[in-house]
């Protein structure tokens, strides 16, 4: 769909507001055309000494009344039309947000966050101006132009009108040439702003890393470079936009010269009156607005076209996960994967190859293995963030792709490797999936995640803002907030993706003890590199290079003497060495 098609469809759906604005603009145009003619008649009456003081006062009162009417009509159509245009901005932003929430990870791997933010701000603002400011200026300018030219030709003199309009075709050609360059310049300016937005977003998100690596100056230099690029691109667009005014000015200057020359000659020969020439010059002056409106409209349209060219691909991008399911999962049902093969886009080696597993309802399944073995991939498939290339996934008797995404995810509580917190309080982050939770429920969930004591030490306790992405909390605290959030959600399936990697072993043992109490009747899958996390699982799978290489209970895997047993011995030895390592105070005593 083109920008014209988008605006046309919007105008049809909000025809009442646009029709009311058009009627008010028509009234403004009629009064605007009526005024010069009345002034001309008034001048001729004064020259001929035909007007009495009472008649003159009445005629002046008419002019003042017309001016007031024009003022109120202009205020009225602005209120109507701008309100409608703002609704287009709201609709586009809602449509963009809804589309982004339905997209899966493959889409966001190809799109930058700053660019999407620019789509939602600058791009939609430009489209909104095209639907509001450009529409009203175009309608007002066109109507005024038609009525003024008609009045010049019919009411005053057609020959003089033809001579006065001679400079206008070259002006139209200049407008066409300027518009072509302005479109390219506007597109470059929007892209430059998008790049600047990307850099600022990434810098603020990774400010701790930049400081730790001492990269502040390099980041600042890059920001200055991108800001200069954006300024140059915007300046170039403004320069092209500014060329409309000289084109209008030159054309109108020639028109005035031709009018005064030819019109003065006609007056000299008695073919025109002074009042008629005065009216014609006033009409010619009224053409200033339609000409400037044409330039302004073309400028807004080209900006809008460039913005729509950036926004439309995002709105029309196919969904990376098609949600065609209609079924609702049974809360207490087994979960099965059968011969699942899955590879990430662009990766030659599959992340999972022939993986099969069974999770009976209410049981706990452990997933262990070295980094890159495919543990997280299993959880992402269960969440339907991705779909496998082959194999089947079932929730009970229903294939996973036949379940509604909304219904599926309402049954799952997920704690990711990197816990994401929102810019809200600790309590609000814990209660994210259950916003109506009481403070007692929030505290109980925090206690189960061994977080309550940490929260009590915060300046405002549970009402302490955590900052963007939880920047004021440590990595372990962010993980425990995410665990508390998942426990409070109380979903039938709990997925823990290396969710205890940032906590110490003592805290881990307390959290696992609480989990054992809470997972009664709940299915749990725990992916972890720490074997102590899954030792109480009903069944554990060992993954290597996307394959299941071992399976069984903790005792069975130890007895088998494979990777699991070797890794268990190594981690136990590591914990013993950490426990026996002398503290700083003990070192001082020995010294």
pLDDT digits (tens, 9 = 90+) for 394-409: 998 889 888 888 888 8
pLDDT at 590: 38
CATH number of the domain enclosing 305: 1.20.1560.10
Distance CA 45, CA 36 (A): 14
Q: Are residues 266 and 327 in the same domain?
A: no
pLDDT at 393: 92
pLDDT at 334 over 70: yes
pLDDT at 338: 93
Per the CB < 8 A criterion, the answer to whether 439 and 433 are in contact is no
Does a structural domain hold residue 45?
yes
**How open is the CA angle 341-345-346, to the nearest 5 degrees?**
115
At 8, the pLDDT band (50, 70, 90 cuts) reads: confident
Does a structural domain hold residue 38?
yes
Q: Are residues 247 and 342 in the same domain?
A: no
Q: Name every residue whose Cβ is closer than 8 Å to that of residue 93 and which is 6 or more positions away in sequence.
A: 120, 124
Does a structural domain hold residue 390?
yes
Rounded mean pLDDT of the chain?
82
- Domain count of the chain? 3
Residue ending a domain, choose from 300, 316, 332 = 316
Sheet holding 390-395, edge to edge: 352-359, 335-342, 390-395, 398-399
Q: Tell me the per-residue pLDDT of 180-204, one tens digit each, with 9 for 90 and over.
A: 887 788 888 888 888 887 778 777 7
Distance CA 505, CA 579 (A): 11
pLDDT at 507 over 60: yes
The number of beta carbons lying within 10 Å of the beta carbon of residue 495 is 24
DSSP helix, strand, coil percent of the chain (3-state; round to 5): 65, 10, 25
pLDDT at 539: 92
Closest by CA to 482, choosing from 421, 441, 528, 542, is: 421
Q: Are residues 247 and 376 in the same domain?
A: no
Residue ending a domain, choose from 445, 466, 490 = 490
Q: Are residues 389 and 311 in the same domain?
A: no
Strands 412-415 and 493-497: parallel
pLDDT at 367 over 90: yes
Q: Tell me the per-residue pLDDT of 118-153, one tens digit each, with 9 for 90 and over.
A: 888 888 888 888 877 787 777 777 777 777 777 777
pLDDT at 267 over 80: no
* Ramachandran region, residue 384 (left: φ > 0; alpha: ψ -120 to 50; beta: rest): left
The number of beta carbons lying within 10 Å of the beta carbon of residue 544 is 15
Distance CA 350, CA 543 (A): 13
Report the pLDDT averaged over residues 376-393: 90
At 589, the pLDDT band (50, 70, 90 cuts) reads: very low
- Residue 406, domain extent: 322-411+493-503+522-552
Does a structural domain hold residue 219?
yes
Residue ending a domain, choose from 289, 316, 343 = 316
Does a structural domain hold residue 70?
yes
Report the pLDDT averaged over residues 95-116: 83
At 520, the pLDDT band (50, 70, 90 cuts) reads: low
Per the CB < 8 A criterion, the answer to whether 366 and 534 are in contact is yes
pLDDT at 342: 93
pLDDT at 583: 47
Q: Are residues 391 and 262 in the same domain?
A: no
pLDDT at 582: 54
Does a structural domain hold residue 461?
yes
pLDDT at 339 over 90: yes
pLDDT at 488 over 80: yes
Report the pLDDT averaged over residues 2-16: 78
Report the pLDDT averaged over residues 199-227: 77
Q: Are residues 283 and 218 in the same domain?
A: yes
Report the pLDDT averaged over residues 229-238: 84
SS3 state at 499: coil
Task: Tell me how long the chain is.
Answer: 591
At 588, the pLDDT band (50, 70, 90 cuts) reads: very low
Between 587 and 265, the higher pLDDT residue: 265
Q: Are residues 104 and 206 in the same domain?
A: yes
Per the CB < 8 A criterion, the answer to whether 368 and 531 are in contact is yes
Report the pLDDT averaged over residues 451-460: 87
Q: Are residues 199 and 137 in the same domain?
A: yes
Q: Are residues 378 and 266 in the same domain?
A: no
pLDDT at 291 over 80: no
Q: Are residues 175 and 262 in the same domain?
A: yes
pLDDT at 586 over 80: no
Query: pLDDT above 70 covers what percent of the chain?
Result: 95
Q: Are residues 330 and 288 in the same domain?
A: no
Between 359 and 320, the higher pLDDT residue: 359
CATH number of the domain enclosing 433: 3.40.50.300
Does a structural domain hold residue 511?
no
Q: Tell me the per-residue pLDDT of 71-85, one tens digit each, with 9 for 90 and over.
A: 888 777 777 777 777
Q: Are residues 382 and 471 in the same domain?
A: no
Does a structural domain hold residue 247?
yes
pLDDT at 563 over 80: yes
């Amino acid at each position: 769909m083109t920008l014209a098609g988008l605006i046309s469809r919007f105008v049809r759906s909000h025809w009442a507001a646009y029709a009311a604005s058009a009627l008010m603009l028509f009234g403004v145009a009629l009064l605007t055309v009526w005024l010069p003619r009345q002034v001309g008649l008034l001048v001729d009456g004064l020259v001929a000494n035909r007007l009495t003081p009472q008649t003159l006062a009445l005629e002046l009162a008419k002019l003042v009344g017309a001016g007031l009417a024009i003022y109120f009509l202009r205020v009225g159509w602005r209120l109507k039309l701008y309100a409608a245009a703002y609704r287009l901005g709201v609709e586009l932003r809602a449509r963009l947000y809804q589309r982004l929430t339905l997209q899966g990870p493959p889409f966001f791997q190809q799109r930058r966050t700053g660019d999407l933010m620019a789509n939602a701000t600058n791009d939609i603002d430009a489209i909104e101006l095209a639907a509001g400011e450009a529409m009203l200026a175009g309608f007002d300018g066109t109507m005024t132009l038609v009525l003024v030219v008609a009045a010049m030709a019919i009411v005053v003199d057609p020959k003089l009108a033809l001579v006065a309009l001679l400079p206008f075709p070259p002006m139209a050609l200049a407008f066409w040439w300027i518009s072509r360059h302005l479109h390219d310049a506007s597109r470059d300016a929007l892209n430059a702003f998008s790049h600047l937005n990307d850099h600022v977003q990434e810098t603020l998100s990774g400010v701790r890393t930049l400081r730790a690596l001492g990269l502040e100056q390099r980041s600042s230099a890059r920001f200055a470079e991108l800001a200069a690029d954006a300024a140059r691109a915007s300046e170039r667009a403004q320069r092209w936009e500014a060329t409309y005014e000289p084109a209008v000015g030159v054309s109108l200057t020639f028109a005035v010269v031709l009018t005064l020359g030819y019109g003065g000659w006609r007056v000299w020969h008695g073919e025109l009156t002074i009042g008629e020439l005065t009216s014609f010059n006033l009409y010619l002056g009224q053409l200033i607005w339609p000409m400037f409106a044409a330039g302004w409209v073309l400028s807004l349209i080209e900006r809008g076209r460039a913005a729509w060219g950036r926004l439309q691909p995002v709105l029309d991008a196919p969904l990376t996960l098609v949600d065609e399911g209609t079924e609702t999962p049974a809360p207490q049902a087994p979960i099965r994967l059968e011969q699942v093969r899955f590879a990430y886009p662009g990766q030659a080696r599959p992340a999972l190859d022939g993986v099969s597993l069974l999770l009976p309802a209410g049981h706990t399944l452990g997933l262990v293995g070295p980094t890159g073995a495919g543990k997280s991939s299993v959880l992402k498939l269960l969440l339907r963030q991705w779909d496998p290339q082959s194999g089947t996934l079932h929730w009970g008797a229903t294939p996973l792709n036949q379940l509604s995404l909304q219904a599926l995810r309402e049954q799952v509580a997920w704690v990711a490797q990197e816990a994401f917190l929102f810019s809200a309080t600790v309590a609000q982050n814990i209660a994210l999936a259950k916003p109506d939770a009481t403070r007692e429920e929030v505290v109980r969930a925090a206690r189960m995640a061994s977080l309550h004591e940490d929260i009590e030490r915060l300046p405002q306790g549970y009402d302490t803002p955590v900052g963007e992405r939880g920047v004021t909390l440590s990595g372990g605290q962010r993980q425990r907030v995410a665990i508390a959030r998942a426990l409070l959600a109380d979903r039938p399936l709990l997925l823990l993706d290396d969710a205890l990697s940032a906590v110490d072993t003592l805290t881990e043992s307390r959290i696992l003890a609480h989990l054992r109490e809470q997972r009664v009747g709940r299915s749990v899958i725990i992916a972890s590199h720490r074997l102590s996390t899954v030792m109480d699982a009903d069944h554990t799978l060992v993954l290597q290079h996307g394959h299941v290489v071992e399976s069984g209970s903790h005792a069975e895997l130890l007895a088998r003497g494979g990777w699991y047993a070797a890794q268990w011995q190594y981690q136990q030895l590591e914990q013993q060495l950490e426990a026996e390592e002398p503290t700083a105070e003990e070192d001082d005593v020995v010294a």
